[in-house]
Amino acid sequence: MDTLISILGSCLPCFPDLSSPYVTIKNVKYRIIKLLGEGGFSYVYLVKSSVNDAQYAMKKIRCPFGSNDETYKNSIKEIKNYHRFLKFGTPYIIQSIEEIIISEVDGSKTVYILLPYFEKSLQDIINNLVMNDDKMPEEDILKIFIGICRGLKVMHNYKTTTSQSAQSVPNSIADDVHSSTSADEDGLLLPPQGPASDDEDEENGDAPPSIPTELSQLIPFAHRDIKPANVMISAEGLPVLVDLGSCSKARIKIRNRQQALTLQDFAQEHCTLPYRAPELLDVVKNSEVTEKTDIWSLGCLLYACCFGYSPFEKLELEQGANISLAISQGKYIMPKNNGGYSSELMDIINQCLKLNPDKRPTVDQLLETTIELSRNSDL
Ligand SMILES: *[C@@H]1O[C@H](CO)[C@@H](O)[C@H](O)[C@H]1NC(C)=O
C-alpha cells in the first residue's frame, strides 16, 4: 500500500478516481494492476492500457533532486539504452514503448518508462527445475544461450555513426537529455581524468563538418548485469535481455585508485555478486575493464541453466565457501558426469570462467561454438 500512496502523492492530478489508480502517458491511461518489483527509488508495476487492455510493465523512478539527481541521470541513461539498439532490429534486447518525465512543483522529477511485459524469466524456469529436481535438455539450453549471445553481440559490437545520433534520443526527453549533464552519460561517471572525459561521445559532441556522416565507430557496450533474472522469455519463446540500467560503454581504463574504487562501487551496486566478474570484484589500477565481464557472467548463467545456481553460489551452498573468495580464485566444481551434459558444453562454461579476461572467448566466438554444438546435437 505504501507504494500506491507514493504514486498518488507524486501524481495527484492523474487520479481522479482513487479506487483505480492510473498513469496517463501520451493521452493513454494505464491502470495499475500490481507491483512487480522495487529497488532503490524505482518501482515496476504491471499496468493495463485502457485503449486495448494490453498488459505492460511500467517502471517508475523517483528523483528527489530533479535534474541534479544521480538517479535521474541514470534513468536518462537507461532510457537512451532502450532506444540505442533499436536500429539493429534485434528481438533479443528489450526496447521501451514510451517514457515521460514529470517535473513536480518541489523540484523533484518522476520518470515513467513503459516497457513490454513478460510473464516469466529464465530464473523462473531454473527455479522450477530446481524445485522439481528436473533438468533442462541440452538443446533447450543451447537455444536460449544462442539467443542471449545474439542480443549481447549487438551490444558488444555496437557501432555508431554521427548521422544517427539525432534519432537515438526520443523527442520527448531530448531537452532533458541535453541539459542533464555535461559528463559522459553513456559511460560511467568516473572521477576526473577518467575515461569519461577523453572518450568521444556520439550524442554529446557536435561532429566537425569535415567528418563524413557515414563514418562509423565501434563503441562496445556491456550489459554488466547478465543473469537469469535479467533474461525474460517472450511469448514466442525467445530470450530477451532486460534491465538496461547498468548497460554502458564497455571499455574502461582504470588509471588511479579513485577510479578503481568508483568502478568497484558501481559494480557492487549494479552487478549481481554470484554473476560478477573477478575484475569487477577487486578493481586494480592501471587496468582495463572490458565487455569480457559479460562473458564471465554468461559462463555463470550457462552453469546455472545446467545446475540450478551460479557456480559460486553452488560452492557456497554445498561447501560453505566464501563466494567473493571463490570468484576471485575462479574456484567452482563441475558435478559428477557433468550432470549428463556434454563435455563440449562444460568446456564452454570453463572458457567463459577464465580468470584472465583476455583468455575468455568473444561473444562472436561463443556464438560460433554454440551454434556448431547445437547443430551437432541435432544429428
Ligand atoms: C570473504 O572474503 C573476502 C576477501 O576475499 C573478505 O573480505 C570477506 O570478509 C570474506 N567474508 C567472510 C564472510 O568471511
Q: Region 228-238: what's the mean pLDDT?
A: 97
List pLDDT tens digits, range 297-319: 999 999 999 999 999 999 999 99
The pick from 281, 325, 327, 355 for probing ligand 1's pocket by mutation, whose C-beta has the most ligand atoms within 8 angstroms, reads 325
Which atom of ligand 1 is the closest one to the Cα of 282?
Answer: 5
Which atom of ligand 1 is the closest one to the Cα of 328?
Answer: 5
pLDDT of residue 66: 86
Kindly report the average pLDDT of the chain as a whole number.
85
Cell representation of residue 122: 529464465
pLDDT of residue 22: 87
pLDDT of residue 4: 42
Distance in Å, CA 210 to ligand 1 centroid: 54
pLDDT of residue 106: 92
pLDDT of residue 229: 97
pLDDT at 5 over 80: no
List pLDDT tens digits, range 257-298: 999 999 999 999 999 999 999 999 999 999 999 999 999 999
- Dihedral of CA 373/354/222/113: which sign? positive
Q: Which range among 56-65, 181-190, 300-309 shows the weakest confidence by mean pLDDT?
A: 181-190
CATH of 120-158+220-378, one of 3.90.226.10, 1.10.3720.10, 1.10.510.10, 3.20.20.140: 1.10.510.10
pLDDT of residue 171: 44
pLDDT of residue 84: 94
List pLDDT tens digits, range 329-377: 999 999 999 999 999 999 999 999 999 999 999 999 999 999 999 998 7
Contacts of 378 (CB under 8 A, 6+ apart): 139
The confidence band for 188, taking pLDDT boundaries of 50, 70 and 90, is low
pLDDT at 181 over 80: no
Give, in order, the Cα–Cα distances in Å from 307 to each of 39, 310, 345. 28, 8, 12
CA distance 31 to 20: 7
Each domain of the chain, given as residue ranges in start order, spans 120-158+220-378
Ligand 1, residues at Cβ distance < 6 Å: 322, 324-325, 328
Q: How many beta carbons lie within 10 A of that of residue 273, not counting itself?
A: 16
Distance in Å, CA 326 to ligand 1 centroid: 10
Contacts of 304 (CB under 8 A, 6+ apart): 126, 227, 228, 310, 311
- In the set 176, 186, 225, 243, the catalytic residue is 225
Give, in order, the Cα–Cα distances in Å from 361 to each of 68, 146, 233, 284, 294. 40, 14, 25, 22, 11
225 is catalytic: yes
Give, in order, the Cα–Cα distances in Å from 101 to each of 39, 71, 169, 343. 19, 13, 14, 51
pLDDT of residue 40: 78
The pick from 316, 322, 327, 355 for probing ligand 1's pocket by mutation, whose C-beta has the most ligand atoms within 8 angstroms, reads 322
Q: What is the pTM of this model?
A: 0.84
SS3 244: coil
Distance in Å, CA 176 to ligand 1 centroid: 42
pLDDT at 256 over 80: yes
Cell representation of residue 244: 538496461
Which residue's C-alpha comes closest to atom 5 of ligand 1? 325
| Alpha carbon of residue 5 to chain centroid | 29
pLDDT at 15 over 60: no
**Higher-scoring residue by pLDDT: 203, 131:** 131
pLDDT of residue 216: 83
